[in-house]
Structure 1
Amino acid sequence: MVTVTEQDKAEEPRRWVVGITGASGAIYGITLCRQLLTAGFHLHLVVSDAGWRVLKEELGWDVSHRMASLEEAFPGAMAEGAITYHPLNDIGASIASGSFRCEGMAIMPCSMGTLSAIANGASTNLLTRAADVMLKEWRPLLIVPRETPLHAIHLENMLKLARLGVRIIPAMPAFYNGPQTLEDIVHFMVGKVMDGMGIHHNLYKRWGQPNE
């Protein structure tokens, strides 16, 4: 019989799976990745084909050279092994298995198509399969939907997932903290997701926090 000691647990890398899909707001997902790297986590990254399209349209990435784009966006992290990038169709990747150990998964931003697939158990690619694994293994799954307006099917799918314990964190920035820049707004949303992950950060001023 093999037992796992506290030392073994401490030596295991802390892993989060991050998905980026084709909803507007790719900067949210990229910023989340950067913050998790700064906090010392190992990332397993999956980007949908539409997600790559949004990275091109919104951030100007050269998506014809995907690995080079990731290396430029996360200097040193790829070479050092802090990020593991999984192609969308690699359904045999480690994160497709329930035996893969990780803290959980965040999809930021999440398109309505991806949300629908997860809500209805349609594991048609690695991203939706990884989310399905989080559900069946009762691991944290955080979804940041970005769409407006919402119709009844969108809302029903969110409700279905919320009832399964998924944390739904819509991309709805607040303004009580007095954001001055676009970065402030992005940091607020990323901070809310990191709150849901249980990770300490100083990305935004909380309500009642004195001005510095």
Structure 2
Amino acid sequence: MERPDRLVVAITGASGAIYGIRALVHLRQLAQVETHLVVTAAARRTIAEETDWALADIVALADHCHHPANLGAAIASGSFRTRGMLVAPCSVKTLSSIAHCADGDLVARAADVCLKERRRVVLMLRETPLHAGHIALMATATASGAILMPPVPAFYRRPQTIDDIVDHSIGRALDLFGIDAGLVRRWGE
């Protein structure tokens, strides 16, 4: 049986809310992918500080939006099938919750559900520089099956705009779910 074309997208409070927003923009263009969005309280603050996007416009990009405190949401259950979860950006707080299975909010719970069901969880960690505690958290999350993918720009593409830089990282992250959004110029093609 084929996996349903659902993807959970979480935007947390780390700098780089544009990564989650641009992921939703591109997923919206792929009508076959149903998106389930969670925006944390810290993310709302970051969105206001870093972008010109209104929260309502971001929510409108998703097929479904879940409150971060709603542990009864469909995405909190393993029986609700998805391709997995993209956390873009991923704060260290969120990384810590996921690494330690601290399911006190919907982002951590949904990630934990995906991991226990052996679904992809891609964490676009936005923190630098890193100390040993951060690295240990990344190792723990990776050992549980998460994929750590800091949004590192690829300059071989010769990006001209910030959107070019962001979209390449988003394209590579979506590749990990088997979703080709047409954002990546493939090496050798």
Shorter-chain TM-score above 0.5? yes
Partner of 2:87: 107
Amino acid at match of 1:70: V
SS at match of 2:159: coil
What percentage of aligned pairs have identical amino acids?
A: 46
For structure 1, list consecutive stretches of 5 or more residues without a partner in the other structure. 1-5, 75-81
The equivalent of 2:186 in structure 1 is 206
Amino acid at match of 2:59: L
- Counterpart among 45, 49, 54 of residue 41 in structure 2: 49
Q: Give the distance between the partners of 1:148 and 1:89, measured in 2 at CA.
A: 28
Q: Secondary structure at the match of 2:169?
A: helix
Taking the aligned partners of 1:138 and 1:202, their CA distance within structure 2 comes to: 26
Deviation string for 1:22-65 (max 9, x for gaps)? Answer: 01111110111121121221111001100111111111344xxx
TM-superposed deviation, 1:180: 1.0
- Work out whether residues 13 and 91 of structure 2, in 8 Å CA contact, stay in contact via their aligned partners in 1: yes
Shift of 1:69: 5.5
Establish whether residue 38 from structure 1 lines up as the match of residue 29 from structure 2.
Answer: yes
1:70 aligns with 2:59: yes
1:80-121 Cα shifts (integer Å, max 9, x gaps): xx6100011111111111111111111010000000011011
User: Which digits, 9 at most, give the CA deviation of each residue in 1:115-138, with x for residues without a partner?
Assistant: 001101111111111011011111
* In structure 1, distance between residues paired with 2:145 and 2:75: 20
Confirm or deny that 1:94 pairs with 2:74: yes
Report SS of the residue matched to 1:92: coil
- In structure 2, the residue matched to 1:139 is 119
Structure 2: how far apart are the matches of 1:68 and 1:163?
A: 36
Secondary structure, counterpart of 1:176 in structure 2 = helix
Decide which of 109, 121, 132 is 2:101's aligned counterpart.
121
Q: Which residue of 2 aligns with 1:78?
A: none
| TM superposition score normalised by structure 1 | 0.83
Structure 1: how far apart are the matches of 2:169 and 2:57? 27
- After the TM superposition, which parts of structure 1 deviate over 4 Å for at least 4 consecutive aligned residues? none
- Give, in whole Å, the separation in 1 of the partners of 2:7 and 2:182: 19
1:45 match: secondary structure: strand
Helix, strand or coil: the match of 1:16? strand
2:13 paired residue number: 22
Contact 1:177 1:207 (8 Å CA) reproduced: no
1:184 touches 1:204 (CA, 8 Å); kept in 2? no
Instruction: Kindly provide the amino acid, as one letter, of the partner of residue 158 in structure 1.
Output: M
Give the number of aligned pairs: 188
The DSSP-based 3-state class of the residue aligned with 1:197 is coil
Q: Give the direction of change, closer, same or farther, for the CA distance of 1:169–1:68 in structure 2 (3 Å limit).
A: closer
Q: Find out whether 1:193 has 2:173 as its counterpart.
A: yes
Instruction: Please report the RMSD computed on the Cα atoms of aligned residues, expressed in angstroms.
Output: 1.7
The one-letter amino acid of 1:19's match is A
